[in-house]
A and B are shown apart, each in its own frame.
Chain A
Amino acid sequence: MLLREVEYARPATVDEAISLLGSHDGARPLAGGQTLVNVMKQRAAAPDVLVDLADLDELRSIGFSSDGMLEIGAMVTYAQLEGSSEVDVARPILAEVAATIADVQVRNRGTIGGNVCVSDPTNHFPPLLAALDATFTIRGSGGERTISADEFFVGVYLTAVGEGELLTTVNVPPSSGAGDGFAGLTIGAHGTYIVNAAATVSSDGARVAIGCVAATPVRATAMEERLAGGDYSEESVRAAADGLGASLDPPADVHGSADFRRHLAEVSAVRAALQAAGRRK
């Protein structure tokens, strides 16, 4: 496919990338390109300038902050998450979910930063990171800010990352004995999700987030409140999820009616929460 003509820059530092993004109208960061290049082919996106983040090594590392947060650079690929000993120690669900995204080739190029910055409502990481209480560090010419998933995901294909800004790091709290779960229904084995749900269960209670049912991940707060008593028997979790579907206003499309998605949301939330509870330490 012949793409529309585009300008390309390959900065060597994050600051240079931010300056390029801020000084050119229609500039967009290019991470792994596993979404952006395809939507450019479809002419669904038409950036004037691509700022390739490929050489920004500081965005490719996985490490721990001084207070023990798992810090994942925005350019870390799904394949890197799968093979990371830090992820395995701190929050193995990230590797587990990364391993189910698309296929080997896409996992070699696609990045966690791209996954969340695209903010496609059917993506894997938005509900997962919402459930894990992750935070997002965004850098711009004026400095750096770190915000919650609630603040980060703004709408369909829309995040809090503004013009001239760059997501640099996804920060995930270590599990500290919490169990994590992820469940849903895909189109085909590793296809796009019709509905998904992520849950984390710790001594502080449960956090459950549903994907694909709204523009951004939806926290199942009523379910979380009902689980506060700490009873994670199947009966109790099912009872806690009762009414979750009715509280949602999901879209309908060729893959499922809104009612089917309401049903799937409850089923997925129950499965994710049971899996999370079963993995508590």
Chain B
Amino acid sequence: MEPVTSRTVSVEVNGEHIEYEVPARRLLVHFLRDDLGLTGTHVGCDTGNCGACTVHLDGEPVKSCMLLAVQAEGTKITTVEGLAADGELTALQQAFNEHHALQCGYCTPGMLMSATALLARNPHPSEEDVRVAIQGNICRCTGYVNIVEAVVAAGGGK
């Protein structure tokens, strides 16, 4: 096997099988946004701190700016576009709406992906569980209070 500067990746993105040739140096977030046009995934800081680029890789949240697209070979990727794939908001998205859990909206895709992963492994999270789960997601508008309330409410808590 010889190293290559570009490679065809085979991934499943929001349920759709995709084969695409990408340069080895391309970050996953740019593959999703620029190659696939899935611009719901945001580039916030591009240093791995803000979490706006969070997507699911095989169900687990990861920061897509800290991953090369070629590293995602063989995985199932879910982006924020994959949440309401049938056009109907998920309970979490609905809770974000009802609890005014966003202002500018820049961090929202990442928040939704981190919170969706939390609810998948812990359907009824406490406030503390939520705060730990979104530790890797920075919001500069809300002070987090309404975001935390929305996620707790989506899990059936108050």
Given A8-B5, A9-B2, A9-B3: A105 touches B51 (CB 8 Å cut-off):
yes
Say whether B99 faces chain A, with CB atoms less than 8 Å apart: no
**Does B23 contact A49, Cβ atoms closer than 8 Å?**
no
**Does B23 contact A30, Cβ atoms closer than 8 Å?**
no
Which of B67, B73, B117 contacts A37, CB < 8 Å?
A: B67
User: Which residues of chain A from 56 to 84 have a CB within 8 Å of any chain B CB?
Assistant: 79
**Does A49 contact B3, Cβ atoms closer than 8 Å?**
yes
**Does B62 contact A105, Cβ atoms closer than 8 Å?**
yes
Tell me, rounded to whole Å, the shortest Cβ–Cβ distance linking B147 to chain A.
15
Given A33-B71, A34-B48: A1 touches B61 (CB 8 Å cut-off):
no
Say whether A43 faces chain B, with CB atoms less than 8 Å apart: no
**Does A11 contact B70, Cβ atoms closer than 8 Å?**
no
Q: How far is the CA of A52 from the CA of B3 in the complex (A)?
A: 10
Tell me, rounded to whole Å, the shortest Cβ–Cβ distance linking A106 to chain B.
6
Say whether A104 faces chain B, with CB atoms less than 8 Å apart: yes
Q: What residue in chain B is nearest A36 (Cβ atoms)?
A: B66
- Looking at chain B, what size class is its interface with the partner chain? 35 or more
Say whether A6 faces chain B, with CB atoms less than 8 Å apart: yes
Say whether B27 faces chain A, with CB atoms less than 8 Å apart: yes
**Does B51 contact A8, Cβ atoms closer than 8 Å?**
no
Q: List 9 A-B contacts (CB under 8 A).
A: A6-B24, A7-B4, A8-B3, A8-B24, A34-B66, A105-B63, A105-B114, A108-B61, A109-B63
- Please, which residues of chain B bring their CB within 8 A of the CB of A51? 3
Say whether A16 faces chain B, with CB atoms less than 8 Å apart: yes
* Chain A positions 1 through 34: 1 when the CB is less than 8 Å from some CB of chain B, otherwise 0: 1111111111100001000100010010010011
Residues of A within 8 A of B (CB): 1-11, 16, 20, 24, 27, 30, 33-34, 37-38, 41, 49-52, 54, 79, 102-106, 108-109, 189-190
Tell me, rounded to whole Å, the shortest Cβ–Cβ distance linking A87 to chain B.
18
- Please, which residues of chain B bring their CB within 8 A of the CB of A54? 71, 73
Q: How far is the CA of A8 from the CA of B24 in the complex (A)?
A: 6
| Residue among A27, A37, A104, A109 with the highest chain B CB neighbour number at 10 A | A104
**Does A52 contact B71, Cβ atoms closer than 8 Å?**
yes
Q: How far is the CA of A30 from the CA of B3 in the complex (A)?
A: 13
Residues of B within 8 A of A (CB): 1-5, 7, 23-27, 46-48, 51, 54, 57, 60-63, 65-68, 70-71, 73, 114, 117, 132-133, 135-137
**Does B66 contact A37, Cβ atoms closer than 8 Å?**
yes
Which of B25, B61, B135 contacts A4, CB < 8 Å?
A: B25
| Residue among A4, A6, A34, A105 with the highest chain B CB neighbour number at 10 A | A105
**Does A30 contact B71, Cβ atoms closer than 8 Å?**
yes
Given A103-B136, A105-B61, A106-B136: A1 touches B46 (CB 8 Å cut-off):
yes
**Does A8 contact B63, Cβ atoms closer than 8 Å?**
no
Q: How far is the CA of A51 from the CA of B2 in the complex (A)?
A: 10
5 smallest CB-CB distances across A and B, nearest first, come from A103-B136, A8-B24, A7-B3, A3-B25, A9-B3
**Does A33 contact B66, Cβ atoms closer than 8 Å?**
yes
- Please, which residues of chain B bring their CB within 8 A of the CB of A33? 66-68, 71
- Please, which residues of chain B bring their CB within 8 A of the CB of A5? 5, 23-25
